[in-house]
Amino acid sequence: VKAKVDFSEVEGLKIACATGAEWRSAVSDVSINLRREMADKANREEMIQYIRRELDALNQNLADVSQETSQKCPTEFAAQVNADLENLTKKFAEAHSSARWLWRSGKVCRGGFVPWEVQVQNACPQSLLWKPDCDSITCTAPGLYHVQLGVFTQNPAGVQLCVNGEPVISLEPTEGGGAAVNLSKDTSAEHIKRRNRHSAGDITAIMIDEVVALPPNALVGVRYDSGTRAQGFISVRKM
Residue 217 near residue 136 (C-beta atoms within 8 A): no
Query: pLDDT tens digit string along 194-236?
Result: 666 676 667 778 889 999 999 999 999 999 998 888 999 999 9
For the beta sheet containing 158-163, the strands, ordered from the edge strand earlier in sequence to the opposite edge, are 128-129, 137-139, 218-225, 158-163, 166-171
Phi and psi based region of residue 45 (left: phi greater than 0; alpha: psi -120 to 50; beta: remaining): alpha
Closest by alpha carbon to 230, among 211, 209, 208, 203? 203
Does residue 127 contact residue 237 with C-beta atoms inside 8 Å? no
The residue length of the chain stands at 239
> Could you report the per-residue pLDDT of 152-166, keeping only the tens digit for each?
988 888 999 999 999
Query: Model confidence over 41-85: pLDDT tens digits?
Result: 656 677 677 777 777 888 888 887 777 766 665 677 777 777 887
Task: From 143, 100, 119, select the one nearest 238 (Cα to Cα).
Answer: 143
How many angstroms from the chain centroid is the CA of residue 71?
37
CA dist., res. 5 & res. 12, Å (int): 13
Using DSSP's 3-state secondary structure scheme, residue 47 falls into helix
Q: Which residues pair with 65 in a beta bridge?
A: none
Instruction: Write down the pTM of the prediction.
Output: 0.55
**What pLDDT does residue 27 have?**
59
Give yes or no for residue 91 having a pLDDT over 80.
no
Rounded Cα distance between 5 and 188, Å, is 135
First to last CA, the chain: 116
Closest CA to 236 of 83, 64, 80, 120: 120
Question: Residue 1: pLDDT above 50?
Answer: no
For the cut 90, the answer to whether the pLDDT of residue 139 exceeds it is yes
Dist. CA 72–CA 95, nearest whole Å: 35
> Is the predicted pLDDT of residue 117 greater than 90, yes or no?
yes
Contact 155, 133 (CB under 8 A): no
